[in-house]
Structure 1
Amino acid sequence: MADSTPLLSDCETPAEPKRLPPSLDETIERCIGDFGWFQVFQAILVSFAWVFDAQQTFISVFTDAEPSWHCTDHSVCNKFSNICQLPKGSWSWDWPAHTSIISEWGHECSTSFITGLPASSFFMGCLFGGLALATLADSTLGRKNMLLFSCLTMSLSSIFTVFSPNIWIYSVLRFINGFGRATVGTCALVLSTELVGKRWRCQAGVIGFFCFTLGFLSLPAMAYVNRGSSWRNLYLWVSAPTVLYCVLVRLLVHESPRWLFVKGRKEEAVTTLKSMAQTASALTMSFSNVLIEQESLDDNVDIFSSIRILLNKRWAAQRLAAVMVAGIGIGMVYYGMPLSLGNLSVNLYLGVTLNAFSELPASLITFFLIGRINRKDSILGFTILSGVCSVMCVVMGRVWPSLQITMELISFFSACTAFNMALIYTLELFPTCVRNSALSMVRQALVFGGVFSPLLVAVGRKNNLISFGVFGMAIGVCGLPLIGLPETRGGTICDTMDEEEHKQNEKAAAAFSTLA
């Protein structure tokens, strides 16, 4: 039976000075250390889910593309002709019709709404999935089970997509795919960071960013190997390994001991800690005696309670609102910049390649400098830099076009780094009982910002100021609400709302005494 003494209560003996029992963070580090080999393996395996996340996100670039074509009757056809106005036998696709959904189902002359419906359905699924599934990892399923559910939903819907008979069924399956995919990255990030000590927590989270880049870069290679084959083959290539991955996660990955403890499942938390202990002395230490000093506080009584907790606590609601506003601006640039490359005076393929590789240095900077730089100041700095360079794209396009792509790359790189930093910052801002829900809401804000990008890009084809100018203003202004939030570098992560409030009160008291 748990000790009924509150976690933050004073000691019972009057003669003793006020002392807090060891925090869960300290307890876990005593048991498993900072970042042992077993934790390295767990963090990498969990973070590998980001590879499949990236592949499912960008696969439509190849499967939904309109293939190139050539004339077969040059008397009525030339390379500048509109194929929708040509006789059917006067032209032909360069590749077999089954290489793309557009050519296989004859949608080359359909409206942009029809041809863009599958991609739009995927992102709508991401939004609905993020809202519907955001709290399950905090309330009932836990981090590991939620990751399994999301990966299985994503992979199985991708396999069923292979049997799509038309674009309408295909769009429905893409919606389900996006619905399942919505929480993959969030669960992987939270679980990987909760399995390690605070010294390496941020670095463990950055592993997921590297894996996402790996998945993004692997997709063109897979598509190149399958060139000329059916678009259905590419879905099989990215979905079959995901099923195998789910089996490995089920057998080899542990549930977060932090979440187990917060949910009152102490025995399971103790068993998990014992299995993760690195040394013989750690194995023989009395985990039960250490953990009995803690109080299990199950703040989540149903699947929506974590959202209510976030909104009922004024400080938590303010933090969530500020980070989500910043996320909208960052997401607008992160998803919009690559789409805008067609509006610049640069080779499209070169521009896309350079943008893809921009994510690598962004992840490297986050990995090596995350322990040395302030989170809040870094996000503010990168959002302002991204905004300035985005506006400079318009200026350079009129004054010095050759430097336009340079400004675009700096802006996109800054947005990528701010994207990574925002996720790490969110992890540290909120306690364990609502962490996954808060991170899910921030990720939905990033996706929501991306919803506006295609429209701005389409309008910006005639005037870059409308696209790049709005991108720059959005990311620059949306980062400003972060100014009022606390800095989290070097601090411990809390597990309950009361513990987080106590920590902030202590900081406020210390700051007041310093001023006094």
Structure 2
Amino acid sequence: MADSSPLLPPFLLAEPENSAVDEPQASLDSVVERVIGDFGWTQLVQSTLVLLSRFFDAQQTFISVYADSEPAWHCINNGMCNSSANICDLSKSSWAWNGHTYKTIISDWDLECASSFIKGLPASSFFLGCLLGGFVLGTLADTSLGRKNLLTLSCLIMSIASLMTIFSTNVWIYSAFRFLSGFGRAAIGATALVLATEKVGSKWRGQMGTIAGVSFALGLLSLPGIAYINRNFSWRTIYVWTSTPSILYCVLVHLLVLESPRWLFLQGRKEAAMAILKRLGPTSLNLCLPYISLEKEAPKTNLYSPIKILLVRKWALQRLLIVMLTGFGIGIVYYSMPLAVGNLGFNIYLSVAFNALAEIPSYIIFSFIVSKWSRKGSLLAFTTLGGICSIMCIMNWKEVVLIGLELVSYFSACTAFIMLMIYTLELFPTCVRNGASSMVRQAPVFGAVFSPILISAGRSNKVLSYGVFGLVILCSSVFVFCLPETRGVALSDTMDEQEEKEQLAM
């Protein structure tokens, strides 16, 4: 039996003179909304601190652009060496790396003639860790750990594993640490966004998504600067520069970040929730807040319960497979473009910086088209544009033209991914929406697992990288034609309600 005592202290329960004696109980969401509906300085600091995790997330996601790259080399014996020849056909005594031999893992461990699988293994291991971590850690934020603790734990695992990477002595140990780093990283994005949105009013939740995206882009933008400063040092230095601040950030999160009051309420920790609401709300609250019945809140579920429901209904399973397949194709392009910029021959520092800057406009453009363009049409438009531009990167054109095509492809993939997540939310009813969204979020990561191997193979033939990227996103998005349009359609709460609405619409 739920405790019917007031969940807020007396000074928040000032009864108006004309209030009814038996005021009806309100939902948890409505009460929390009345307390923190306005956006104050405390919420701004809390949200910014939480979403800063995306900054470090981006650094670890794309750090292999520099740490795993193949450095330039030069001939030292012109009689036995040709700079246009395959390095593996030359004698080791006839050429040398530009700069020191420990600049990247390729030169440090003599991997220049290793297979594409070996060269791409560390980055692929990172994304495999992300994939496994998404399933293992995905439900802990709703159950035992909570939002704050899971964010701290995930970021700490990612950061410590990244720091431990510097002690790697071969590519196998290095890949193992990258896998562990990816495992921890898996829960950062979703957990940070949930924690930030649950501490602001509903009208500010969209802005939290924008801040998260900008934070990720800024993290990517910082990476070429760090790599350029350390260009004459070992690849291990980059890991130290990125992991050390991230560990310090985890300490700040543990000390300063407040837990979600919504999660605390649902866990029955009323006193802790009240204390946080007092800190998040205005300093002079004079509200008449009703009692809250926790029995009226939605029952707790985990990620795997709605998946069982999705597998039973044929139409739901079909939709899930289509959006996951589309997400797979988008992920191939989204993660591959920044990772593969070294294959274009353009300045590797400027190209990554341009990619980071290209991601920011995608959020701005999306905010304009989301209410005007159809979901299906815009998703198809951006995936098609991204695929065509990626395929065009295989041409032997000027570097500036190729980097322009690469940026358009990356921008299109960014915008397509945002649209896909909104589309997914509208395609499924409330009872399975979170589970479907979680599954779709894993699809791009699964695509990213194959990207490093294709990128490594594409160093000798761009068709194997940019050509494959474009074909995959084009082919995977074809099935979007089979999905219904959802813009302006009211959301359903149950599977039966969704089926009834669609039968009436036919």
1:277 corresponds in structure 2 to: 281
CA distance in 2, matches of 1:398, 1:104: 29
Name which of 296, 304, 308 aligns with 1:311.
308
What is the correspondence of 1:368-447 to structure 2 with a 5 Å cutoff? 368-369=367-368, 373=371, 379-390=375-386, 392-393=388-389, 409-423=407-421, 439-447=437-445
Which one is further off, 402-411 or 222-231? 402-411
The reply to whether residue 51 of structure 1 matches residue 48 of structure 2 is no
SS in 2 for 1:137: coil
CA distance in 2, matches of 1:431, 1:32: 27
CA deviations on 1:289-336 (whole Å, 9 max, x unpaired) are 432476355424xxxx43114433778966755643442232233234
Q: 1:242 to 1:445 in 2, by over 3 A?
A: same
Q: CA deviation at 1:433?
A: 9.6
Work out whether residues 387 and 471 of structure 2, in 8 Å CA contact, stay in contact via their aligned partners in 1: yes
1:468 alignment partner AA: G
Work out whether residues 158 and 235 of structure 1, in 8 Å CA contact, stay in contact via their aligned partners in 2: yes
1:295 alignment partner AA: K
Q: CA deviation at 1:246?
A: 0.9
1:70 corresponds in structure 2 to: 74
The reply to whether residue 355 of structure 1 matches residue 355 of structure 2 is yes
1:80 corresponds in structure 2 to: 84
1:22 corresponds in structure 2 to: 26
CA distance in 2, matches of 1:395, 1:86: 32
1:86 alignment partner AA: L
The reply to whether residue 145 of structure 1 matches residue 149 of structure 2 is yes
1:125 corresponds in structure 2 to: 129
What is the correspondence of 1:27-426 to structure 2 with a 5 Å cutoff? 27-282=31-286, 285=287, 289-292=290-293, 295-300=296-301, 305-312=302-309, 323-338=323-338, 347=346, 349=348, 353-366=353-366, 368-369=367-368, 373=371, 379-390=375-386, 392-393=388-389, 409-423=407-421
Work out whether residues 27 and 296 of structure 2, in 8 Å CA contact, stay in contact via their aligned partners in 1: no
Q: CA deviation at 1:31?
A: 0.7
Q: CA deviation at 1:482?
A: 5.1
Work out whether residues 187 and 436 of structure 1, in 8 Å CA contact, stay in contact via their aligned partners in 2: no
1:474 alignment partner AA: S
CA distance in 1, matches of 2:326, 2:107: 40
Work out whether residues 51 and 212 of structure 1, in 8 Å CA contact, stay in contact via their aligned partners in 2: yes
CA distance in 2, matches of 1:267, 1:435: 31
CA distance in 2, matches of 1:400, 1:89: 32
CA distance in 2, matches of 1:430, 1:147: 27
Which one is further off, 30-39 or 55-64? 30-39
CA distance in 2, matches of 1:247, 1:446: 30
Q: 1:486 to 1:86 in 2, by over 3 A?
A: closer
1:10 corresponds in structure 2 to: none
Work out whether residues 262 and 297 of structure 1, in 8 Å CA contact, stay in contact via their aligned partners in 2: no
Structure 1: tracts of 5 or more residues without a match:
5-15, 492-498
Q: CA deviation at 1:82?
A: 3.5
CA deviations on 1:415-452 (whole Å, 9 max, x unpaired) are 21122344456678889998776544322112123345
Q: 1:64 to 1:455 in 2, by over 3 A?
A: closer
CA distance in 2, matches of 1:256, 1:166: 42
Q: CA deviation at 1:33?
A: 1.7
Work out whether residues 363 and 415 of structure 2, in 8 Å CA contact, stay in contact via their aligned partners in 1: yes
Q: 1:53 to 1:362 in 2, by over 3 A?
A: same
CA deviations on 1:127-151 (whole Å, 9 max, x unpaired) are 1111211111122111111111100
CA distance in 2, matches of 1:218, 1:472: 31
Q: 1:317 to 1:144 in 2, by over 3 A?
A: farther
Identical columns (%): 48
SS in 2 for 1:135: coil
Q: 1:34 to 1:310 in 2, by over 3 A?
A: farther
Work out whether residues 423 and 486 of structure 2, in 8 Å CA contact, stay in contact via their aligned partners in 1: no
Work out whether residues 141 and 147 of structure 2, in 8 Å CA contact, stay in contact via their aligned partners in 1: yes
CA distance in 2, matches of 1:115, 1:469: 23
Q: 1:136 to 1:212 in 2, by over 3 A?
A: same
1:334 alignment partner AA: Y
Q: 1:263 to 1:405 in 2, by over 3 A?
A: same
Q: 1:401 to 1:233 in 2, by over 3 A?
A: closer
CA deviations on 1:191-234 (whole Å, 9 max, x unpaired) are 11121111110111211100110010100000000111111111
Work out whether residues 130 and 184 of structure 2, in 8 Å CA contact, stay in contact via their aligned partners in 1: yes
CA deviations on 1:235-288 (whole Å, 9 max, x unpaired) are 111011111111111122122222223333333333322221114125xx465x
Q: 1:161 to 1:408 in 2, by over 3 A?
A: closer
2:158 alignment partner AA: M
SS in 1 for 2:142: helix
Q: CA deviation at 1:337?
A: 4.4
Work out whether residues 429 and 498 of structure 2, in 8 Å CA contact, stay in contact via their aligned partners in 1: no
Q: CA deviation at 1:91?
A: 2.1
1:12 corresponds in structure 2 to: none
Work out whether residues 21 and 293 of structure 1, in 8 Å CA contact, stay in contact via their aligned partners in 2: no
Q: CA deviation at 1:488?
A: 8.0
CA distance in 1, matches of 2:394, 2:230: 41
Structure 2: tracts of 5 or more residues without a match:
5-19
Instruction: Provide TM-score, normalisation by structure 1.
Output: 0.79
Aligned-CA RMSD value: 3.9
Q: 1:339 to 1:129 in 2, by over 3 A?
A: same
Which one is further off, 379-388 or 89-98? 379-388
Work out whether residues 137 and 437 of structure 1, in 8 Å CA contact, stay in contact via their aligned partners in 2: no
Q: Matched residue pairs, number?
A: 477
CA distance in 2, matches of 1:225, 1:364: 31
Which one is further off, 460-469 or 273-282? 460-469
Instruction: Provide TM-score, normalisation by structure 2.
Output: 0.81
